[in-house]
Amino acid sequence: MRTYFLAALSLLALTASAQKKNKTAEQFSKTITADDLKTHLYILAGPEMEGRETGTAGQRKAADYLKQQFQRIGIAPANNGNYEQFYPLYKDTLKEAAVTVNSKSFEFGKDFSAALNNIITTQQFFSEVVYMSKIDTTTDIRGKAVVIVAKNGTQLPAFNDINKLYSRQPAAVLFVVNNVDKTPSPRAGRLSMSLYRNRQTPLVVRISEAMGEALLKNDFANAKAQTLETKTVATELMLHFKKDFDVTQASNVLGFIEGTDKKDEWVIISAHYDHVGVIGGKIHPGADDDGSGTVGVLEIAEAFAKAKAAGKGPRRSILFLAVSGEEKGLWGSAYYAEHPVYPLEKTSIDINIDMIGRKDDNLKSLDSNNHVYLIGDDKLSSQLTPFVDSINKMYINIITDRKYNDPKDPNRLYYRSDHYNFAAKGVPIVFFFDGIHKDYHKPSDTPDKINYDLHEKRSRLVFLLAWEAANRNNMFVRDIPLNVPPR
pLDDT at residue 6, as a whole number: 42
pLDDT at residue 1, as a whole number: 37
pLDDT at residue 484, as a whole number: 60
Cα of 252 vs its chain's centroid, Å: 13
pLDDT at residue 485, as a whole number: 61
Give the CA count within 13 Å in the CB-facing half-sphere of 438: 3
Q: Identity (one letter) of the amino acid at 285?
A: P
Give the pairing of strands 371-375 and 104-106. Answer: unpaired
CA distance 272 to 78: 17
The runs of H, that is alpha helices, within 204-363 are 209-216, 220-224, 293-309, 326-329, 331-338
CA distance 75 to 255: 6
CA distance 52 to 393: 36
CA distance 176 to 206: 6
pLDDT single digits (tens) 174-192: 999 999 987 767 777 778 8
pTM for the model stands at 0.81
pLDDT at residue 10, as a whole number: 47
Instruction: Say what the alpha-carbon torsion angle 38, 437, 394, 472 is, to the nearest 10 degrees.
Output: -80
CA distance 64 to 448: 23
Q: Identity (one letter) of the amino acid at 166?
A: Y
Distances (CA, A) of 408 to 278, 405, 419, 430, 476: 33, 8, 19, 18, 26
Q: Phi and psi (nearest 5°) for 122?
A: -160, 155
The per-type count for the chain, helices as H runs and strands as E runs, is: 13, 17
| Greatest Cα pair distance in the chain | 86
Q: Which residues have a Cβ under 8 Å from the Cβ of 234 and sit 6 or more positions away?
A: 127, 128
Helix or strand holding residue 67 (H, E): helix 57-73
CA distance 210 to 128: 18
pLDDT at residue 118, as a whole number: 74
Q: Identity (one letter) of the amino acid at 367?
A: D
pLDDT at residue 477, as a whole number: 99
pLDDT at residue 244, as a whole number: 86
pLDDT at residue 243, as a whole number: 87
Domains of the chain: 2-90+248-471 (3.40.630.10), 91-245 (3.50.30.30)
Residues in the chain, overall count: 487
pLDDT at residue 14, as a whole number: 47
Nearest to 436 by CA among 360, 353, 354: 360
Distances (CA, A) of 39 to 42, 100, 298: 6, 61, 11
What is the CB neighbour count within 10 angstroms for residue 382? 18
Cα angle for residues 332, 337, 340 (degrees, 5° grid): 105
> Strand locations in 196-290, DSSP E?
203-207, 231-257, 262-272, 278-279, 282-283
10-residue mean pLDDT profile of the chain (487 residues): values are 42 51 97 99 99 98 99 98 96 92 96 84 95 95 97 93 92 95 74 63 91 98 98 98 90 99 99 98 99 99 99 99 98 98 99 98 88 98 98 98 91 95 98 97 99 99 99 98 68
Tell me which DSSP letter residue 442 carries. S
